[in-house]
A and B are shown apart, each in its own frame.
Chain A
Amino acid sequence: MISKDIIVEQLKEQIAGFKAEAKSKTIGFVTEVGDGIAKIAGLSDVMMSEMLEFQTKKGVIFGVALNLEEDSVGAVILGDFTEIKEGSEVKTTKRILEVPVGEAMIGRVVSPLGEALDGKGKIETSKSYPIEKIAPGVIARQSVSQPVQTGIKAIDAMIPIGRGQRELIIGDRQIGKTAIAIDTIINQRGQNMKCIYVAIGQKESKIAGIVAKLTECGAMEYTTIVLSGASDPASLLYIAPYAGTALAEYFLDKGEDVLIVYDDLSKHAVAYREISLLLRRPPGREAYPGDVFYLHSRLLERACKLNKEHGGGSITALPIIETQSGDVSAYVPTNVISITDGQIYLEPDLFYKGNRPAVNAGLSVSRVGSAAQIKAMKKVAGKMRLEAAQYRELAAFAQFSSDLDASTRAKLERGKRLTEIFKQDQYSPLLVANQVLIFYALINGFLDDIAVEKIREFEMGLYEYARTNGKEVLGEIASTGEYNEEIENKLRSLIGDYKSTVIGS
Chain B
Amino acid sequence: MKITPKCYAQSLYESVDGKTAFEVAVISKKFVELIAKNNHLTKANAIIGEFIKIWNSEKRIVEATVVSAKEMDGETVNRLSDHIAKLSKAKKVALRTKIDKDILGGVVITYGDKMIDLSLKTQLVDLQDRMVKYN
Chain A residues with CB under 8 Å of chain B are 11, 14-15, 18, 20, 22-28, 42-44
> Is B99 engaged at the interface, CB distance under 8 Å to the other chain?
no
Do residues B131 and A25 form an inter-chain contact, with CB atoms below 8 A? no
Do residues A27 and B123 form an inter-chain contact, with CB atoms below 8 A? no
Complex interface: chain B residues within 8 A of A24 (CB): 87, 114-116
**Complex: how many Å from CA A23 to CA B114?**
10
Instruction: Give which listed residue, B116, B123, B134, contacts A23 with CB less than 8 A.
Output: B116
Do residues B127 and A15 form an inter-chain contact, with CB atoms below 8 A? yes
**Complex: how many Å from CA A27 to CA B87?**
16
What per-residue 1/0 map shows which CB atoms of B108-135 lie under 8 Å from chain A?
A: 0010111111100001001100110010
Complex interface: chain A residues within 8 A of B131 (CB): 11, 14
Most buried by B among A15, A20, A24: A20
Interchain Cβ contacts under 8 Å between A and B, 18 examples = A14-B131, A14-B134, A18-B127, A20-B123, A22-B117, A23-B116, A24-B87, A24-B114, A24-B116, A25-B116, A25-B117, A26-B113, A26-B114, A26-B115, A27-B114, A27-B115, A42-B113, A44-B113
Q: What secondary structure prevails in chain A residues at the interface with B? A: mixed
**Complex: how many Å from CA A283 to CA B131?**
50
**Complex: how many Å from CA A43 to CA B115?**
11
Complex interface: chain A residues within 8 A of B130 (CB): 14, 18
The bracket for how many chain B residues form the interface is 10 to 19
Do residues B114 and A43 form an inter-chain contact, with CB atoms below 8 A? no
**Complex: how many Å from CA A150 to CA B68?**
66
Complex interface: chain A residues within 8 A of B116 (CB): 22-25
Chain B residues with CB under 8 Å of chain A are 87, 110, 112-118, 123, 126-127, 130-131, 134
Extra inter-chain contacts (16) besides given A14-B131, A27-B110, A43-B113, CB under 8 Å: A14-B134, A18-B130, A20-B123, A20-B126, A22-B117, A23-B116, A24-B87, A24-B115, A25-B114, A25-B116, A26-B114, A26-B115, A27-B114, A28-B113, A42-B112, A44-B113
Do residues B118 and A20 form an inter-chain contact, with CB atoms below 8 A? yes
Complex interface: chain B residues within 8 A of A22 (CB): 116-118
CB B126 to nearest CB in A, in angstroms, measures 7
Complex interface: chain B residues within 8 A of A15 (CB): 127
**Complex: how many Å from CA A43 to CA B123?**
23
Complex interface: chain B residues within 8 A of A11 (CB): 131
Q: Closest chain A residue to B111 by CB distance?
A: A24
**Complex: how many Å from CA A20 to CA B112?**
23
**Complex: how many Å from CA A44 to CA B117?**
18
CB B63 to nearest CB in A, in angstroms, measures 13
Do residues B113 and A27 form an inter-chain contact, with CB atoms below 8 A? yes
**Complex: how many Å from CA A498 to CA B116?**
83
Q: Closest chain A residue to B131 by CB distance?
A: A14
**Complex: how many Å from CA A15 to CA B113?**
31
**Complex: how many Å from CA A25 to CA B117?**
8
Complex interface: chain A residues within 8 A of B112 (CB): 42, 44
Complex interface: chain A residues within 8 A of B115 (CB): 24-27
Q: Closest chain B residue to A45 by CB distance?
A: B113
Q: Closest chain A residue to B119 by CB distance?
A: A20
Complex interface: chain A residues within 8 A of B110 (CB): 27
Q: Closest chain A residue to B116 by CB distance?
A: A24
CB A50 to nearest CB in B, in angstroms, measures 14
CB B98 to nearest CB in A, in angstroms, measures 15
Q: Closest chain B residue to A90 by CB distance?
A: B113
**Complex: how many Å from CA A18 to CA B135?**
14
**Complex: how many Å from CA A130 to CA B53?**
37
Complex interface: chain A residues within 8 A of B127 (CB): 15, 18
**Complex: how many Å from CA A15 to CA B134?**
12
**Complex: how many Å from CA A44 to CA B114?**
9
Complex interface: chain B residues within 8 A of A28 (CB): 113
Q: Closest chain A residue to B87 by CB distance?
A: A24
Complex interface: chain A residues within 8 A of B87 (CB): 24
Complex interface: chain A residues within 8 A of B134 (CB): 14
**Complex: how many Å from CA A263 to CA B16?**
62
CB A10 to nearest CB in B, in angstroms, measures 8
**Complex: how many Å from CA A14 to CA B123?**
14
**Complex: how many Å from CA A39 to CA B110?**
20
**Complex: how many Å from CA A43 to CA B118?**
20
CB B92 to nearest CB in A, in angstroms, measures 20
**Complex: how many Å from CA A42 to CA B115?**
11
**Complex: how many Å from CA A226 to CA B112?**
40
**Complex: how many Å from CA A28 to CA B114?**
8
CB A134 to nearest CB in B, in angstroms, measures 31
CB A363 to nearest CB in B, in angstroms, measures 51
CB A100 to nearest CB in B, in angstroms, measures 15
CB B85 to nearest CB in A, in angstroms, measures 15
**Complex: how many Å from CA A25 to CA B112?**
11
**Complex: how many Å from CA A22 to CA B131?**
19
The 4 closest A-B pairs by CB, nearest first: A42-B113, A20-B123, A27-B115, A25-B115
**Complex: how many Å from CA A27 to CA B112?**
9
**Complex: how many Å from CA A26 to CA B111?**
10
CB A398 to nearest CB in B, in angstroms, measures 70
CB B24 to nearest CB in A, in angstroms, measures 27
Most buried by A among B110, B116, B117: B117
**Complex: how many Å from CA A11 to CA B130?**
11
